[in-house]
Structure 1
């Protein structure tokens, strides 16, 4: 039978809703009763009679075991299960909490692993899936439980999703592996963990899905990760298409793994790490982004930088590429944005990237990307069409505009074609607005001088200044005083416009009084009306 693997979301616990169809007619009932594959999902619960019935109905098909009974009942069920060991395809706990609560199932207890061990001590020729993530042991520093898994007894494992158990050391045990999911704990550091993961990856050439979720726990006395003792050879995983390491993890742990694998066909890359103060940000970024994510990043068409007060994330339009880094200090956070931008210049060389967005919501103090780095990025991303700034501070925006004013071989750069600025932060008064419009106007004139097109979208509002004891609000400075600069900008480029002045949206024509508007139409002619006037 073909085993299906899914990237996301994980499969719920199988159900037997089809059993109600047996009530339709006698023929459907007979079909259901005599189709063993329909009965292959076996719940190991307190009801041993139901267990025997399901095992009988499913014979001779392979079976999927989902269980946690009390320990005493497991002892009663084990002799029954051992007789069917040759048919067991799956040994799993309940992964869906709601279904588990209805069925009376939950995660297995750590002490129950000892009662499950006899099941893995006999040959399991049909076993393809093992999903075991037991509750925390009483001693949080206890060693992983050894189920004594061997390739002789389990020759065709396809999915291995486990935590708190010892991983088989035999290379041939992993030769058919398609999906690997290993739970990681904060407060338990096994020196061989990185070695274990790399050992598995180096002997799993057919691996398609790699997940290292963080099981939680509190880091009481964090210590540097131990040095690796495994060989430094790179594992080439030609079928690996999904990498998920969400937690957040220690970045040195993630980097140690990603630096030793090559994944030419990866199509989903989700990483979350927690960066401490004093970390080497640039080295860390290169470890995580290169080379593992290079092939995926090189084909994205949209890229989003999202920053808040303690986290920066980079993602593409459908979140198949997603990197989130949590920081303890502002300086480390800002250094990451600049370092990541620099690294992406290498990954995006002549790629199809068309759209770039910066969203600095709840974070108006981000450091700017230097103009020279913007120049390198624009020269690298030859397909870049639009750069959008959302809730971004003005120095950050001006840095890119300054880069656009620097000619390349005597000619202004033609990228990006469109600049969208939505609700820039710290626009307190007309002085800030004037500065932004003048920068845009200089870029527009530079492009127009070389007969290059530029589109500009402005969506702004002045912050309302008021005193809580007075009503109504003091009027914010009007955008009307910038009408001639905005008109000049509209003459130089394709201008999209939405301003909010004193809590009211304003159209472009509302910036001019009737006499000025009439004179403009007379001087320019009715046919020269700007698109933004409508």
Structure 2
């Protein structure tokens, strides 16, 4: 029982020493900083205001309040506000510690706070703009960059004027403007990160030799004044660079012939070696990107992302060698899994490769390797599938590719020639798993035909053990019994040919979009043959519209009399020690009607005689275009 005259005992939490409390406060403060940095890395809207959530810890007790007030590192995140007294108080608390300054969106606020910031210029570690920071605010902070900033390591200035300027001709003229802050390497000797938009970069050799991260954002500009060779020169004078990113508008129609220097011959590029570069992220017009990428040699590269916009016709066979040159392919031998899909809303393709299983994407993770190549064709002259496979074979030559998925090519294109698929066979002999999913009937028919024909050749697809065919994008009304016969015949021919070569496909998956499993019933004997050739690892699934696909059990496709007949045959085969020539009958024999005893037994037990007439109807020349009869 607790009475009023009993002494009050403080919990042990109140008596924690400063050596323990200070790290606790710093952890809470760093969580805010890490959340901001993560949002910046993934391109999300970030809250750059100083929330100072750690202040709530000072409400625990007087001792905790003292720890918060006496730790300068907790006050280093300074947001410029109109309340100068509050700003001065926070700056006074951060004496002796470097500070991170977050600028205000209004020019008058920055100008009023400039005297306080200039007095602490040697302490400034980072200068960041807020989300609502606009281009007209830049002159109010220029005085800050006229002084020496020996501790400055990070500059993030991204004026955002998209919301203020509608897409009219008058706004385009204003969006062309660039502002010169007077950035100088002599005044910023420790600069490690530079992320800017509509700000003039200092020309070489005045570039920042200690720079680690360079991000140039030109996505709001249709006519940026920065040429590809200018970027190459900046990279050449940044030997310590670890991450390079440049983003431009997809409306920018860059012309390399009009902006290339006179002393650079077409097709020849000055190579700049960047031994520490680990991440490249470029999203620009095709010619602009290729001029930069051709000039970079990065032996330590592990993360590569290139998204290019094609505004003039290009040679599809040259895309891979120009976007992903050999000087950037030092890590492709680490990539074992790739996915090839068309780009949304344009005639193009997207190639994404990682190790398997895919690690967390981070250039600081030495085990993380990542490659992305995206091509948006605005000329509608590129055959997306052919160009994608050609690019993959070019840039991944020599890679131990084990898993490949080709999906979503639904456009009405010409039938790809067999050479399109033969290149995959020749380039990736270690391919173990192949998935052709949700493609048009032309694409799936072309692959199955080429796969069935090449399966008879020794050495074709030598390591392929897992195959998946997904036809969910087909019209469920067009996918009838005739179409399924074409599919199953090609698959069965290929599996039999590979069985003769002792190169079995051990896992096969077929997925179809249809309203019921009735069309599968007519081909249950073929499916049973396919299952037996896959060692039992066979999966056939159907999907009704947008519903999740569900697996169809082969036993559900057979009548009860047929199931009894199969069970009796298996028992007979077991009794005769597996002598299939005398005691057993294969399901293929039942399908073709070559064994009269089985046919009669099927009829006596109530089996479907229509099975044999259906197979005779389907015994015709193989069609290349499913559903076009």
Residue of structure 2 aligned with 1:271, choices 306, 322, 344: 306
Higher mean C-alpha deviation, range 155-164 or range 225-234: 225-234
1:186/1:217 contact within 8 Å kept: no
2:431/2:461 contact within 8 Å kept: no
Task: Find out whether 1:355 has 2:403 as its counterpart.
Answer: yes
Deviations 1:451-504 (A, max 9, x none): 22213433333545xxxxxxxxxx886212212222222232235232449899
Task: Find out whether 1:522 has 2:568 as its counterpart.
Answer: yes
Instruction: Name structure 1 gaps, 5 residues minimum.
Output: 98-105, 465-474
Deviations 1:262-315 (A, max 9, x none): 222222222223323633333233211223652344321211112256352211
Which residue in the other structure is 1:493 paired with?
534
Task: Find out whether 1:338 has 2:386 as its counterpart.
Answer: yes
Provide the rounded CA distance (Å) in 2 between the counterparts of 1:328 and 1:167: 30
Change in 2 beyond 3 A, CA 1:407/1:420: closer
Residue of structure 1 aligned with 2:317, choices 277, 282, 285: 282
For residues 58-137 of structure 1, the aligned pairs below 5 Å read 58-94=94-130, 97=131, 106-107=132-133, 109-136=134-161
**Deviation of the 1:61 alpha carbon:** 1.0
Which residue in the other structure is 2:426 paired with?
379
Task: Find out whether 1:507 has 2:558 as its counterpart.
Answer: no
**Deviation of the 1:44 alpha carbon:** 0.8
Deviations 1:299-357 (A, max 9, x none): 2121111225635221135583222323346552xx24323322332433342321111
Provide the rounded CA distance (Å) in 2 between the counterparts of 1:90 and 1:50: 20
Change in 2 beyond 3 A, CA 1:77/1:501: closer
Deviations 1:87-137 (A, max 9, x none): 11111112xx5xxxxxxxx21x32322221111111111111111122449
Number of corresponding residues: 499
**Deviation of the 1:194 alpha carbon:** 1.7
Change in 2 beyond 3 A, CA 1:140/1:367: farther
For residues 232-311 of structure 1, the aligned pairs below 5 Å read 232-246=269-283, 249-276=284-311, 278-291=313-326, 293-307=328-342, 310=346, 311=348
**Deviation of the 1:242 alpha carbon:** 1.8
Instruction: Name structure 2 gaps, 5 residues minimum.
Output: 1-32, 166-170, 362-369, 579-583, 587-629
Deviations 1:9-58 (A, max 9, x none): 36753642112212222222222222211111111111111111111111
Residue of structure 2 aligned with 1:460, choices 502, 511, 527: 511
1:30 counterpart SS class? helix
1:174 counterpart SS class? coil
Q: When the two structures are superposed, what TM-score results if normalisation uses the length of structure 2?
A: 0.72
2:429/2:461 contact within 8 Å kept: no
Which residue in the other structure is 1:482 paired with?
523
Provide the rounded CA distance (Å) in 2 between the counterparts of 1:57 and 1:502: 65
Provide the rounded CA distance (Å) in 1 between the counterparts of 2:406 and 2:176: 45
Which residue in the other structure is 1:323 paired with?
373
Which residue in the other structure is 2:259 paired with?
227
**Deviation of the 1:517 alpha carbon:** 2.0
Provide the rounded CA distance (Å) in 2 between the counterparts of 1:403 and 1:396: 11
Change in 2 beyond 3 A, CA 1:126/1:500: closer
Residue of structure 2 aligned with 1:395, choices 433, 442, 451: 442
Larger Rg: 2
**Deviation of the 1:162 alpha carbon:** 0.6
Which residue in the other structure is 1:100 paired with?
none
**Deviation of the 1:399 alpha carbon:** 3.3
Residue of structure 2 aligned with 1:184, choices 198, 210, 218: 218
Provide the rounded CA distance (Å) in 2 between the counterparts of 1:83 and 1:330: 58
Residue of structure 2 aligned with 1:200, choices 234, 238, 241: 234
Q: When the two structures are superposed, what TM-score results if normalisation uses the length of structure 1?
A: 0.84
2:351/2:392 contact within 8 Å kept: no
Provide the rounded CA distance (Å) in 2 between the counterparts of 1:167 and 1:188: 18
Provide the rounded CA distance (Å) in 1 between the counterparts of 2:510 and 2:454: 26
2:254/2:287 contact within 8 Å kept: no
CA RMSD of aligned residues (A): 3.2
Which residue in the other structure is 2:599 paired with?
none
Provide the rounded CA distance (Å) in 1 between the counterparts of 2:411 and 2:445: 14
Which residue in the other structure is 1:439 paired with?
490
**Deviation of the 1:360 alpha carbon:** 1.1
Residue of structure 1 aligned with 2:70, choices 18, 23, 34: 34
